Amino acid sequence: MSTRIAFLKGHGTENDFVIVPDPENAVALPPAAVAALCDRRAGLGGDGLLHVVRSAAHPEARHLAAEAEWFMDYRNGDGSVAEMCGNGVRVFARYLQHAGYATEGDLAVATRGGVKTVHLAKDGDITVGMGRAVLPEGEVTVRVGERAWPARNVNMGNPHAVAFVADLAHAGELRAAPPVTPATAYPDGVNVEFVADRGPRHVAMRVHERGSGETRSCGTGACAVAVAAARRDGTDPAVTGTPVTYTVDVPGGTLVITERPDGEIEMTGPAVIVAEGEIDPEWWAGAAV
Ligand SMILES: N[C@@H](CCC[C@H](N)C(=O)O)C(=O)O
């Protein structure tokens, strides 16, 4: 008898994900199978995949099982592994609520970027504690065609290069990853954000995600942008002693990011479950080869 594999589809500010619930870590998900599921024409389609596993059942998260029952095994659309996904962790929590594994209140979720606390309300937006940003020394440069911008290196568990631009259209079509130099700043690749001002503590961004291409939102990217904007604007909460909140418009909606004087960052935004079903076993048999 063939294995039946369940899936759901969800999104957070239109950063969309295939969700594979697999509490006991019984489903093999090689990169080719992930890429096939995320394919927008021949698969289900998604910027990435959320593999929902009990921490105790996953070798990368077993040590976190006492802190967080669930592990977000996040994969990019090309099948590569990433440390963290800010929109993904909200959608992950929404799935746990939808499936009856979580109720209202605070929920700890293990990720490769550490344990994150998600605040679940009955409905409405979801807030997640994203932890602290790390800002490696040294400027980096982002290039698109003839244009080049100095950019801020911000690590939100995953790597980002944040470039402030006069016009988001200057990022062009973003069909390929924009070159970022020096390459040594990002040995594992980088997510690139282009940011334009919209008003006081209000910016808009576009993003080219490592392993996914241009997406309509990136939660860790929006946090990196808020952190870079606060340093640029003189509102760094570690310096002023006052929390600062930035509204970050993305092509798929709006995220609200607050950084506190101790460096802790909270992000609030929507998380939606769109559909659920079962993967055709015959298709699945061919997907991973
Ligand atoms: N869309 C995500 C980030 C997903 C991972 C990223 N592509 C990477 O490789 O680091 C988010 O919402 O944070």
Q: Is 155 in the pocket of ligand 1 (CB under 6 A)?
A: no
Atom index in ligand 1 nearest the CA of residue 209 equals: 7
Binding residues for substrate are 15, 76, 86-87, 158, 191, 209-210, 219-220
**pLDDT for 186-217, tens place per residue?**
999 999 999 999 999 999 999 999 999 999 99
- Per residue in 225-283, pLDDT tens? 999 999 999 999 999 999 999 999 999 999 999 999 999 999 999 999 999 999 999 99
CB 73 within 8 A of CB 58: yes
* Enclosing H/E stretch for 231: helix 219-233
Query: Using 50, 70 and 90 to split pLDDT, how confident is the model at 2?
Result: low
Mean of the pLDDT values across residues 145-161? 98
Minimum-distance ligand 1 atom for the alpha carbon of 160: 10
| Per annotation, catalytic residue among 82, 133, 218, 230 | 218
Output Rg (C-alpha) for the chain, integer angstroms: 18
Percentage, residues of the chain above pLDDT 90: 96
Question: What pLDDT is recorded for position 122?
Answer: 83
Residue 1 has pLDDT above 70, yes or no: no
Whether pTM exceeds 0.90: yes
**Range 63-74 average pLDDT:** 98
pLDDT (0 to 100) of residue 4: 86
User: Active site residue: 18, 52, 68, 85, which one?
Assistant: 85
Report the DSSP beta bridge partners of residue 248: 203, 255
Residue whose CA lies nearest to ligand 1 atom number 2: 85
Is 200 in contact with 244 (CB distance < 8 Å)? no
Mean pLDDT across the stretch 145-151? 97
Mean pLDDT over the full length of the chain: 97
Q: What is the mean pLDDT of residues 34-55?
A: 98
pLDDT at residue 123 greater than cutoff 90: no
Indicate whether 3 pLDDT > 80.
Answer: no
Q: Does the CB atom of residue 46 touch ligand 1 within 6 A?
A: no
Query: What confidence score (pLDDT) does residue 148 get?
Result: 98
On whether ipTM exceeds 0.90, the answer is yes
Distance of alpha carbon 171 from alpha carbon 165, whole angstroms: 8
Domains of the chain: 5-125+272-287 (3.10.310.10), 140-269 (3.10.310.10)
The predicted pLDDT at position 34 comes to 98
86: pLDDT strictly greater than 60: yes
Cα distances (Å, whole numbers) of residue 126 to 55, 91, 123, 133: 22, 9, 8, 20
In this model, does residue 185 exceed pLDDT 60?
Answer: yes
- Checking if the pLDDT of 17 tops 80, the result is yes
Atom of ligand 1 nearest to the CA of 220: 13
Q: Give the pLDDT of residue 36.
A: 98
Q: Is 85 a catalytic residue?
A: yes
The predicted structure's pLDDT at residue 66 = 98
The pLDDT value given to residue 93: 98
Structural contact between residues 217 and 87, judged by C-beta atoms closer than 8 angstroms: yes
Q: Is 178 close to ligand 1, i.e. is its CB under 6 Å away?
A: no
**For residue 3, what are its two tokens?**
């294995």
